[in-house]
């Protein structure tokens, strides 16, 4: 059982306190006692959460040494870290390869016949790989890469949908010391072109085609259109997934299945330096050229291993499903590397969550007995819109823990998730982190008391803070969310752009990491993320966060999702425009404008009440489910919407 403590009114009503939710969810003693973190604390004679956080802050190297010791090093590192802000090095002089720990170790151990991945295609087709199978596939493909001349330090560009060849390709690169650069398959081929050229890859990997909502996307054909603008590419490896009859260019294009046939199922795992690069992942950034975030073998491995073990509490028998795309950092850390480091079984799903109907995810949870499930608030809000009748059709009793990532989760969506998916018994881990951080940074643990809408507290050893413009630490009001310490899976630089690394992240407050998010910390030390700094509204001199207003709107029983942006106003500075998606079956949308305005007035106050409300069918979102307020804002201001190549649903722009 999961206990609920309610203090006072459901919510305070004044502007500054909307997100000080008063509902508190306490984990049951079963959840606490069986958790990995609790057992670890017992071993180290730590009595409670506060003591854990304090002890870790006082002695971060002790904490990380303990966990790094659970992984295998070819050569033991000499020093835990060197922190010369803004430059960090971890596990210095160690020899290590993340793939040895993710794969080789398991393929040689008793868990070799355990399933590493259960893959399900959108059409319902299933493919399973044990740890040994995966090891062999990775080795064969690594041998292909070597044969094509890929060497340690070279960058391989990968443009694949959610099929097993994607983790196989990534692991094969890492195994031989090459650096992978995965480009999300939903992006336009132009994004692939730019990233190939940035990294000067000789080898690229793609697929003949794949389906989304039944619709065929002919990726290879799109790639053909950009290949004459990628001069460094010598070979393009093509996975046959849909069996399309495509044009293969003699001498350049190679079928994956043909290339691997003659390859050995053994391949040497390169002994890397802890600080050698593992991958580049481009993060869109709101303006300008995408930033190539660089992660390394050693520290990255230790960071994601530890967070997955402690936050999502994964144990031997768990069936883990991180329902993100691998083209996003969430997939890199928590579909590919993290779960393999822990040796658990993961689900990999190719398709759309509501295809062919809104029961798809719940049906898969029932079929595979998923125990821990991780998704984005946008997905939860979408399912709220379809109604609880869909999850109710399936038996979700196997679930024991839930998670969210990507955006602030509105308290109402949190409650819905907890109740209708988690059956009221599964703690919800609202994990705040970024491509740059590599791992969870502000997050609950299964032993934490939870407040819906709060990402709770910094992970052990992480020193996060909220600063005002002058750099003073504040409690209560909104401010810059920063990190004052280093952590092992911190990005090391921006690819080929070391100046931008310093400028974008470490200059606003010298030697302090600026996340670019606005957050508030309450007097119990809980963090409430309020969105990106660029999105904060300024109405008549009041700074109002988009998350606050959106959460107030979503707390109306007929609302599924909302996005608010500011529109320039002569007197007020900005006025609030709200775009609202209603739940299915909410009836007439007449008068809704006034109903919403009144509702926000009542929940927060007149200052936050939108000047304009529009009911829409869809909102423009990135592929990782983040609402693209920049695009909405441009529409509202009547300006060109700019680059929409990273949008998942460009047609949504029209609905606005």
431 lies in the site for ligand 6R9, by CB under 6 A:
yes
21 lies in the site for ligand 6R9, by CB under 6 A:
no
482 lies in the site for ligand 6R9, by CB under 6 A:
no
By CB under 6 A, name the one of 439, 455, 582, 652 that touches ligand 6R9. Answer: 455
Stretch that binds ligand 6R9, among 107-115, 200-208, 432-440, 604-612 (CB under 6 A): 432-440
Backbone angles phi, psi at 210, to 5 degrees: -155, 170
430 lies in the site for ligand 6R9, by CB under 6 A:
yes
Backbone angles phi, psi at 491, to 5 degrees: -65, 150
The least distance separating ligand 6R9 from the CB of residue 481, rounded to whole angstroms, comes to 8
Sign, CA torsion 555/559/565/569:
negative
How far is 27 from 199, CA to CA, in rounded Å?
A: 46
β-pair type (559-569, 573-582): antiparallel
3-state DSSP call for residue 29?
A: helix
Stretch that binds ligand 6R9, among 147-155, 248-256, 294-302, 323-331 (CB under 6 A): 323-331
406 lies in the site for ligand 6R9, by CB under 6 A:
yes
Helix, strand, coil shares, percent, the chain, to 5: 35, 25, 40
259 lies in the site for ligand 6R9, by CB under 6 A:
no
Instruction: List all residues 6 or more positions away from 89 whose beta carbon is below 8 Å from its beta carbon.
Output: 81, 82, 274, 275, 492
* Residues 114-133 within binding reach of ligand 6R9 (CB under 6 A): none
By CB under 6 A, name the one of 160, 322, 405, 537 that touches ligand 6R9. Answer: 405
378 lies in the site for ligand 6R9, by CB under 6 A:
no
Nearest to ligand 6R9 of 55, 332 (CB atom): 332
609 lies in the site for ligand 6R9, by CB under 6 A:
no
Distances (CA, A) of 203 to 99, 231, 277: 20, 11, 18
The least distance separating ligand 6R9 from the CB of residue 200, rounded to whole angstroms, comes to 24
Using CB under 6 A as the binding criterion, the count of chain residues that bind ligand 6R9 stands at: 21
The least distance separating ligand 6R9 from the CB of residue 633, rounded to whole angstroms, comes to 16
546 lies in the site for ligand 6R9, by CB under 6 A:
no
Phi-psi region of 569 (alpha: psi -120 to 50; beta: other; left: phi over 0): beta
Stretch that binds ligand 6R9, among 110-118, 430-438, 559-567, 570-578 (CB under 6 A): 430-438
Nearest to ligand 6R9 of 298, 408 (CB atom): 408
Q: How far is residue 86 CA from its own chain's centroid?
A: 24
How far is 377 from 443, CA to CA, in rounded Å?
A: 15
How far is 588 from 112, CA to CA, in rounded Å?
A: 57
3-state DSSP call for residue 163?
A: coil
Binding mask 515-544 toward ligand 6R9 (x if CB under 6 A, else -) reads xxx-----------x--x------------
| DSSP state at residue 342 | H
345 lies in the site for ligand 6R9, by CB under 6 A:
no
Nearest to ligand 6R9 of 433, 495 (CB atom): 433
Beta bridge partners of 320: 346, 372
β-pair type (3-6, 23-26): antiparallel
The least distance separating ligand 6R9 from the CB of residue 205, rounded to whole angstroms, comes to 22
Do the beta carbons of residue 527 and residue 579 sit within 8 Å?
no
Do the beta carbons of residue 511 and residue 86 sit within 8 Å?
yes
283 lies in the site for ligand 6R9, by CB under 6 A:
yes
182 lies in the site for ligand 6R9, by CB under 6 A:
no
408 lies in the site for ligand 6R9, by CB under 6 A:
yes
Query: Per the structure block, which two tokens stand in for 136?
Result: 């062999």
**Residues forming the site for ligand 6R9 (CB under 6 A):** 283, 328-330, 405-408, 430-435, 455, 515-517, 529, 532, 624
């Amino acid at each position: 059982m999961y206990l609920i403590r309610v203090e006072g009114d459901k919510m305070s009503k004044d502007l500054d306190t909307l997100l000080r939710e008063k509902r508190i969810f306490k984990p049951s003693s079963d959840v606490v006692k069986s958790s990995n973190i609790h057992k670890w604390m017992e071993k180290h004679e730590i009595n409670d959460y506060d003591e854990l956080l304090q002890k870790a802050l006082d002695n971060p190297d002790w904490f990380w040494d303990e966990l790094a010791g659970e992984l295998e090093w070819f050569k033991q590192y000499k020093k835990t870290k060197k922190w010369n802000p803004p430059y960090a090095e971890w596990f210095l002089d160690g020899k290590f390869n993340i793939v040895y720990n993710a794969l080789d170790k398991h393929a040689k151990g008793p868990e070799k016949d355990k399933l590493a991945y259960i893959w399900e295609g959108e059409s319902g087709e299933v493919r399973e790989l044990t740890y040994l199978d995966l090891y062999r596939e990775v080795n064969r493909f690594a041998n292909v890469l070597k044969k094509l001349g890929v060497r340690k330090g070279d960058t391989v560009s990968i443009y694949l949908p959610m099929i097993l060849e994607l983790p196989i390709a990534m692991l094969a690169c890492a195994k031989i010391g090459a650096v992978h650069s995965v480009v999300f398959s939903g992006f336009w081929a132009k994004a692939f072109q730019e990233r190939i050229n940035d990294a000067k890859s000789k080898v690229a990997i793609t697929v003949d085609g794949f389906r989304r909502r039944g619709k065929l996307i002919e990726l290879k054909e799109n790639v053909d259109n950009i290949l004459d603008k990628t001069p460094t590419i010598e070979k393009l490896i093509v996975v046959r997934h849909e069996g399309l009859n495509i044009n293969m260019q003699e001498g350049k294009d190679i079928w994956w299945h043909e290339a691997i046939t003659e390859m050995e199922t053994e391949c040497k795992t390169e002994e890397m330096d802890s600080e050698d690069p593992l991958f580049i992942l481009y993060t869109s950034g709101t303006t300008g050229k995408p930033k190539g975030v660089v992660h390394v073998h050693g520290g990255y491995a230790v960071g994601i291993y530890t967070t997955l073990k402690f936050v999502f509490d994964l144990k031997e028998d768990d069936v883990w499903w991180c329902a993100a795309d691998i083209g996003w950092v969430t997939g890199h850390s928590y579909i590919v590397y993290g779960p393999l480091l822990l040796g658990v079984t993961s689900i990999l799903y190719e398709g759309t969550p509501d295809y062919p109907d809104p029961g798809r995810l719940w049906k898969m949870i029932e079929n595979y007995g998923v125990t821990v499930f991780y998704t984005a608030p946008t997905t939860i809000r979408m399912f709220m819109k379809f109604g609880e009748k869909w999850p109710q059709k399936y038996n979700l009793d196997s679930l024991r823990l839930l998670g969210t990532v990507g955006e602030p989760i509105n308290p109402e969506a949190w409650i819905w998730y907890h109740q209708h998916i988690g059956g009221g018994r599964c703690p919800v881990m609202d994990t705040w982190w970024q491509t740059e951080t590599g791992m969870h940074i502000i997050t609950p643990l299964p032993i934490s008391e939870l407040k819906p809408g709060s990402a709770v507290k910094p992970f052990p050893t992480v020193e996060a803070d909220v600063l005002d413009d002058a750099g003073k630490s504040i409690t209560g009001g909104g401010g810059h969310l920063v990190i004052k310490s280093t952590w092992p899976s911190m990005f090391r630089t921006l690819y080929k752009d070391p100046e931008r690394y310093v400028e974008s992240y470490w200059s606003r407050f010298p030697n302090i990491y600026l996340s670019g998010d606005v957050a508030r910390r309450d007097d119990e030390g809980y963090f409430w993320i309020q969105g990106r700094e660029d999105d904060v509204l300024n109405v008549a001199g009041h700074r109002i966060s988009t998350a606050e207003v959106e959460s107030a709107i979503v707390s109306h029983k007929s609302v599924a999702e909302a996005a608010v942006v500011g529109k320039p106003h002569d007197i007020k500075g900005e006025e609030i425009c709200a775009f609202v998606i209603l739940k299915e079956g909410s009836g007439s949308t007449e008068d809704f404008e006034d109903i919403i305005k009144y509702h926000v007035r009542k929940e927060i106050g007149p200052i936050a009440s939108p000047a304009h409300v529009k009911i829409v069918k869809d909102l423009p979102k990135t592929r990782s489910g983040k609402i693209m307020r920049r695009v909405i804002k441009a529409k509202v201001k009547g300006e060109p919407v700019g680059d929409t190549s990273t949008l998942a649903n460009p047609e949504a722009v029209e609905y606005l």
